[in-house]
């Protein structure tokens, strides 16, 4: 079975699910998932996981993301981007670029954000966007997000372009609307490009045309998804025991999650150390039984 990760450059006009359907065909495998949904009108980095690598999705999703986004001032849509219907208009902002930059700094750090109705979040198993399309709005709970960087790239009374670095679960559309509301005007997202997702960068992303021609050429090792975790190199005996589900003493290991590696560089999966004992929590591959135990 094909196993690994591909850093896909998702084009505008496709849903993330469309990309997965495409990748199932070119990789000839059904077991595929992606890290972090991108809206159909957005482009950029979409890490796609195939085969046993899909078991690492929950760990890859912990990392932050970065975007380049454009605001168009003076209009607000029901979807928060320019694919929606205009529901409100306003005057254009009268502030300078310096004043706008000062407002941006108010939106850095830890904050609460209300998820939009036009989102893939589910209520009783149904995505919110399906309810929104029927004109139904339901109560949502604000979620904690973290904005580590907001940098102004360009600004004029009609449009502004920003670079954003943020935690997972951040809705850029909503962030831009909130910034505009702080200025006392309407605004909507008119462009979004995801420039990174965890350790995956846009400069390394691969187009669908490239993938269709040589899909396996761009397949990255499963371990790529969890390079942010510390490495634990195991002896043959430790590797065999831990991958068999046996908690094993590893003195001197700080508590936490680790990438489990063999002495020859084999990647076994994810382990968790606690009080000097290592236990496998997501084992992808079994180690061979040491010769002395056969």
Q: Which residues are catalytic?
A: 39
Query: Using only C-alpha atoms, what is the Rg of the chain?
Result: 22
Distance CA 224, CA 47 (A): 11
3-state class of 35 per DSSP? coil
* Biggest CA pair distance of the chain: 78
What are the Cα distances from residue 140, in Å, to 117, 173, 232?
8, 16, 41
Query: What CA–CA distances, in Å, run from 242 to 9, 231, 245, 264, 274?
Result: 37, 15, 5, 17, 14
Q: Which among 213, 220, 223, 212 is positioned nearest to 23, based on CA atoms?
A: 212
Backbone angles phi, psi at 55, to 5 degrees: -70, -10
Q: Name the β-bridge partners of 6.
A: 48
Taking alpha carbons only, the member of 290, 291, 293, 245 closest to residue 268 is 245
Q: Residues in the chain, how many?
A: 294
């Amino acid at each position: 079975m094909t196993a690994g990760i591909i850093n896909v450059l998702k084009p505008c006009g496709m849903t993330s699910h469309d990309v997965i359907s495409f990748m199932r065909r070119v990789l000839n495998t059904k077991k595929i998932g992606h890290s972090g949904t991108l809206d159909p009108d957005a482009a950029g980095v979409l890490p796609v996981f195939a085969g046993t690598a899909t078991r690492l999705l929950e760990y890859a999703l912990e990392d932050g993301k970065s975007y380049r986004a454009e605001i168009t001032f003076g209009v607000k849509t029901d979807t928060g981007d320019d694919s929606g219907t205009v529901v409100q208009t306003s005057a254009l902002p009268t502030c300078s670029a310096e004043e706008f930059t000062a407002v941006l700094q108010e939106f850095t750090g830890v904050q609460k954000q209300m998820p939009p109705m036009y989102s893939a979040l589910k209520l009783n198993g149904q995505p919110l966007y399906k309810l929104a399309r029927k004109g139904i709005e339901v109560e949502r709970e604000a979620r904690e997000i973290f904005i580590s960087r907001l940098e102004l790239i360009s600004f004029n009374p009609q449009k502004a372009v920003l670079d954003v670095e943020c935690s997972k679960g951040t809705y850029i559309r909503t962030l831009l609307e909130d910034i505009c509301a702080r200025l006392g005007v309407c605004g909507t997202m008119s462009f979004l490009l995801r420039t990174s997702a965890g350790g995956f960068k846009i400069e390394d992303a691969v187009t669908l045309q490239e993938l269709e021609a040589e899909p396996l050429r761009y397949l990255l090792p499963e371990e790529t998804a969890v390079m942010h975790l510390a490495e634990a190199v195991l002896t043959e005996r430790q590797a065999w025991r831990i991958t068999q589900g046996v908690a094993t003493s590893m003195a001197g290991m700080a508590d936490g999650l680790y990438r489990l590696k063999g002495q020859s560089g084999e990647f076994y999966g994810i382990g968790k150390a606690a009080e000097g004992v290592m236990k496998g929590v997501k084992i992808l591959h079994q180690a061979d039984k040491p010769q002395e135990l056969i």
